[in-house]
Amino acid sequence: MNNAKNMTKYSLRSWVLVLALAPTILVGILLGSYFTINRFYELEQTLIEQGGNIIEPLAIAAEIGLEKKDFETTKKLITAAQLNKSSLVQFIAIFDTNNRVIVTSHHYKDHELMRYDQPLSSLMRTELEQVGDSLILRSPIFSSEHELKVNSFEEQDAEQLIATKLGYIAVLINKENALLEQHRAAVAAFIIVLIGVQLNLLFTFRLVKNVTQPITEMVRVVAKIREGKLDTRVDGNLIGELDLLKRGINAMAGSLSDYHDEMQQNIDQATSDLRETLEQIEIQNVELDLAKKRALEASRIKSEFLANMSHELRTPLNGVIGFAKQLLKTPLHSSQQDYINTIEKSATTLLGIINDILDFSKLEAGKMVLENMPFALREMLDDTITLLSNSAREKDIELVIDIESDVPEDLSGDAMRISQIMTNLVGNAIKFTDQGSVHLRLQLTESNNEQINLRCEVTDTGIGIDDSQKEMLFQAFGQADSSISRRFGGTGLGLIITKRLVNRMGGQIGCISKLDKGSTFWFTLPLQTSQYSIGQILPLDKLQGKSVLLLEPRELSNNTLNRLVNHWGMKVTNAHSFEQLGNALNQQTSTFDYALISCKGLDANGNISSQLKEIKAQCQYLVLLCSSNEAITHNLLPFVDKVIPAPIGEKALAQILIDPQPDTDSAYLLEDLGIPEPIERQPLRVLAVDDNPANLKLIDTLLKELVNQVTVIDSGQGAVSIAQERSFDLIFMDIQMPGTDGISATKLIRQDSLNRNTPIIAVTAHAIAEERELIQQSGMNGYLPKPIDEAALKSVINRWKTRPKFTHFDQFTLNWELCLTQANHKQDLALDMLKMLLDSLGETTQQIEGALEQFDDKQMLTTIHKLHGASCYCGIPTTQKLCQEIESTLKQGTSVADVEPEILELLDELTKVESAANQVISQLSTDIIDDNQTRLL
């Protein structure tokens, strides 16, 4: 008996009571709730209908008073209506088409609640609004000229309805009576449910008395059957269904033994089937593993194919583009120059297509590695737009760069990829715009201490995009119109690459466009703020209070320049035309400090020189903004102080105004007039290595224009041999060569030659990230991609000609070139960061040693994390790698004792870093002092 009682926590009596009462209570509650809610709804609808029956006749009746301006009669009308239904209507107000109160039934303190907060044109029928325990009904009042129609409202002319609207009437309905009726209905429903439950309880107790004892006996029997006593039976005479239950229990006990045997057979069969299924799953896992290996092998083959194709395509392009540029330097008649320009542009276009395909392939394979480096936003943007501004000037398109003042300058991210995004979007806007403007706008949408959200919009007045064609914009090899590729060119990869780059950086991109009305491409990017000041800090306070005369007839450019100089605190006199400029000059009693004059604002029909003389007479420094490549601009140079191409970047304009210097030899004019800039050959001995005769001849030709002595070798083994015999100042090494390739030759030169510390620059057509990483790890100092650009070659030579030769430490301990790269190639900034690291090394070493002695996991993690952050900006690869490994291990819960070997290795590495940093700082500080003294002399 005790075993039967322990079978359940609650008694059978309790369960019968619960199961008998629960349905009744539940049904009673559901029915009561249903009828109560239904009653609530009916009362609510009745109240709304009553309000509608009041407001709509009032709206019709008030029309005459509003048309005749008879507000007194209208007030009597609505006051009478409110008093007649005072228990229902609290307040009535009539508003005109300007949403102003003109008539009220009486004074009401919260009459502002009655005002319609949406555009009045959207109120075309009676509308309802719930406000606390009240309802507000609003209905439009139309003029008598408006004909009411029996058909639906949607078929009426919306513009005609708006034109005949005189205002609207608002009625505040009191819900107190309705709420009282709702409460009464709820109380009545509760009383009825309570009476039903009490009656059910009475019958339930009688049921429990007649059922509990037989069922308790059955429970005892079932408990014994469960224990395995299958001969146990239920005895006695029972009534109704209980007798059927007794027979069922006895039959169950008799057949359980048969079921037991059958169940055992089923278990054996199921076990056998499961074993076969597991074997099949194992086979499938093996097949999946083989498929995965095949996919990885296919990806590897694809990467190798891309690398080889990049090399094979870029190698001949290097010769085509390079010799085309060299040929342009020779005497040629106009048709020959045109042919060579066409060849050079076609080859450059082909190179751009190759780059797009390689970028798209890397993004598809997930091998695009994004950097996180500090950069100066405005300087990066100025460099990017400079490359595109010439295309805009050739088409006479207004190109405007608009950066809001609250956008920070020093950020951290992949500046090269951000520049690529800007280039794609602005380049597309210029390409598809024949006239008008291209407007690039940057604004800050979100900001906190460490991260900002940047929004960029590129708006043009070009051909636009049809809605049905927008879906093809961000698809690979797709353009909005099949004829566009024929008219404008391009592969259709620019936007898909841009979209994937933006998405990889955590941003979003979209397009708003209408056919023949231009387009707006926008994207957002989350970027981190840089703790180091990368951009040049300008003393803008010198411009505070200075007067400037601005002449710019184009609205976008005018607004941008006006807002910029106002932000600097300058006093602006803004003129949109030459006539306004003349009025401003006549009214000015004193001279302006500066004048920003656009060529577009001068009177082309008059004498431009005399116009500039007139302006120059009343300003101290005149800057001429030229937005077209006109050769006549050089004739205006004697009448201005500075000639600059438009658009001009914010930094460049600030530098010109802060330090106004006469410009008698404008680089812009030199570019327009084709005046070659004299090149001074560097007194350097340079070795060039390449197995391709055309490329070797090209780099030989380019180098001989820049340095005094050039030696060329066509094999890697030959380069190793000559490097053992002669010393060079700089070595340009091709990577892919038969026999001894560039990487092997570099390792041999570093091991034993006269050029162990000579800078070696990789010259290769490979463009994938893995190849560049391999080049950096092989001991080479730099990277020069093919096709070789003359400006890039000159930049490499200038960078490495005065490179300090550090010979007493490993490049992986301290890589000065990496430190320069992380500091945006600013030597002063890189030196300051290295000094900051050196100053903190003593304290950091003590903290690491203390945490190691006490096995303090928290202190060790904090110290390593701080050191890891500093190492990311100081060019110490080994230290950075060790910090990353230790920090990652500690974050996973590993104790300090388990990573003690790595910590000791880090302490040894910090000693090497300290020694190397002292040498670099000592040598570079001396070099900087010597350079400064040389400049003073």
Give the DSSP letter string of 172-238.
Answer: EEE-HHHHHHHHHHHHHHHHHHHHHHHHHHHHHHHHHHHHHHHHHHHHHHHHHHHTT-TT----S--
374-469+506-535 under CATH 1.50.10.20, yes or no: no
3-state class of 699 per DSSP?
Answer: helix
Residue closest to 879 by CA, chosen among 825, 928, 809: 809
- pLDDT over 60 at 678, yes or no: no
DSSP assignment of 531-600: SS--SPPP-GGGGTT-EEEEE--SHHHHHHHHHHHHHTT-EEEEESSHHHHHHHHHH--S-BSEEEEEGG
**Containing H/E element for 753?**
none
Q: What's the longest Cα–Cα distance across the chain?
A: 130
Span 844-869, pLDDT tens digits: 888 888 888 888 888 888 898 888 88
3-state class of 663 per DSSP?
Answer: coil
Q: Are 867 and 879 in contact (CB under 8 A)?
A: yes
CA distance 302 to 308: 10
Q: Which two tokens stand for residue 656?
A: 């010109």
Lowest mean pLDDT among 92-106, 283-297, 468-482, 881-895: 468-482
Q: Are 105 and 97 in contact (CB under 8 A)?
A: no
The length of the chain is: 937
Phi/psi of residue 120, nearest 5 degrees: -65, -25
pLDDT band of 155, cuts 50, 70, 90: very low
- pLDDT over 70 at 825, yes or no: no
CA distance 323 to 340: 10
**Top-tier CATH class for 554-658:** alpha beta
* HSE value, Cβ hemisphere, 13 Å, CA-based, for 6: 5
CA distance 564 to 654: 10
- pLDDT over 90 at 834, yes or no: no
Neighbours of 480 (CB within 10 A): 23
Lowest mean pLDDT among 349-363, 834-848, 877-891: 349-363
CB-count exposure of residue 603 (10 Å: 0-12, 13-18, 19+): middle
Sequence ranges of the chain with CATH classification 1.20.120.160: 816-931
More confident: 228 or 41? 41
- The pLDDT of residue 684 is 86
The side-by-side arrangement of strands in the sheet containing 127-131 is 101-104, 89-96, 165-174, 134-142, 127-131
CA distances 416 to 315, 374, 377, 387, Å, are: 24, 11, 11, 14
Neighbours of 552 (CB within 10 A): 25
User: Which single residue is written with the structure tokens 């303090």?
Assistant: 856
Q: Are 189 and 36 in contact (CB under 8 A)?
A: yes
Mean pLDDT (whole number) for 579-584: 81
Span 319-364, pLDDT tens digits: 677 677 777 677 776 666 766 776 776 667 676 666 666 666 666 6
Sequence ranges of the chain with CATH classification 3.40.50.2300: 554-658, 682-801
Under CATH, which number does the domain 682-801 receive? 3.40.50.2300
**Containing H/E element for 619?**
none
* Helices and strands (DSSP H and E) totals, the chain: 26, 22
CA distance 838 to 600: 55
Q: Which two tokens stand for residue 48?
A: 């709304």
Angle formed by the axes of helices 240-328 and 334-365, nearest 10°: 160
Sequence ranges of the chain with CATH classification 3.30.565.10: 374-469+506-535
CA distance 485 to 345: 17
Cβ neighbours for 325, distance < 8 A, ≥ 6 positions apart: 344, 790
- The pLDDT of residue 666 is 46
- The pLDDT of residue 674 is 43
Mean pLDDT (whole number) for 240-265: 77
Angle formed by the axes of helices 377-394 and 650-658, nearest 10°: 100
Cβ neighbours for 36, distance < 8 A, ≥ 6 positions apart: 182, 185, 186, 189
* Fold of the CATH domain 816-931: Four Helix Bundle (Hemerythrin (Met), subunit A) (1.20.120)
Percent of the chain with pLDDT over 90: 1
CA distance 89 to 174: 6
CA distance 2 to 615: 114
Span 634-648, pLDDT tens digits: 666 777 888 888 888
Neighbours of 817 (CB within 10 A): 18
Q: Are 551 and 578 in contact (CB under 8 A)?
A: yes
User: Which single residue is written with the structure tokens 């570099």?
Assistant: 746
Amino acid sitting at position 170: A
Mean pLDDT (whole number) for 102-123: 78
Mean pLDDT (whole number) for 42-69: 81
Helix runs in 68-168, H state only: 71-84, 158-163
CB-count exposure of residue 693 (10 Å: 0-12, 13-18, 19+): exposed
pLDDT band of 668, cuts 50, 70, 90: very low
CA dihedral 573→577→583→588, nearest 10 degrees, is 30
CA distance 541 to 569: 8
- pLDDT over 80 at 905, yes or no: yes
Lowest mean pLDDT among 45-59, 326-340, 395-409, 572-586: 326-340
Neighbours of 820 (CB within 10 A): 18
Q: Are 505 and 367 in contact (CB under 8 A)?
A: no
- pTM to 2 decimal places: 0.51
Q: Which two tokens stand for residue 181?
A: 């009726």
pLDDT band of 150, cuts 50, 70, 90: very low
Q: Are 779 and 746 in contact (CB under 8 A)?
A: yes
Query: What is the bridge-based pairing of β-strands 165-174 and 89-96?
Result: antiparallel
Phi/psi of residue 115, nearest 5 degrees: -70, 140
Lowest mean pLDDT among 160-169, 449-458, 558-567: 160-169
Q: Are 55 and 171 in contact (CB under 8 A)?
A: yes
Residue closest to 57 by CA, chosen among 38, 84, 35: 84
Q: Which two tokens stand for residue 123?
A: 């109120």
How do the residues of the chain divide into helix, strand and coil, expressed in percent and rounded to 5? Answer: 60, 15, 25
Phi/psi of residue 106, nearest 5 degrees: -170, 175
CA distance 602 to 553: 9
Q: Are 713 and 338 in contact (CB under 8 A)?
A: no
Q: Are 476 and 496 in contact (CB under 8 A)?
A: yes
Q: Are 89 and 173 in contact (CB under 8 A)?
A: yes
Under CATH, which number does the domain 13-144+162-182 receive? 3.30.450.20
Span 181-216, pLDDT tens digits: 778 878 888 888 888 777 877 777 777 766 777 777
CA distance 785 to 766: 7
Compute the mean pLDDT over every residue in the chain, rounded to the nearest whole number.
77
Span 426-482, pLDDT tens digits: 888 888 888 888 999 999 988 887 788 999 999 998 888 877 776 667 665 444 444
pLDDT band of 769, cuts 50, 70, 90: low
More confident: 256 or 472? 256
Neighbours of 298 (CB within 10 A): 10
Measured in whole angstroms, how far is the alpha carbon of residue 418 from the centre of its chain? 10
CA distance 612 to 585: 12
Q: Which two tokens stand for residue 126?
A: 């009676």
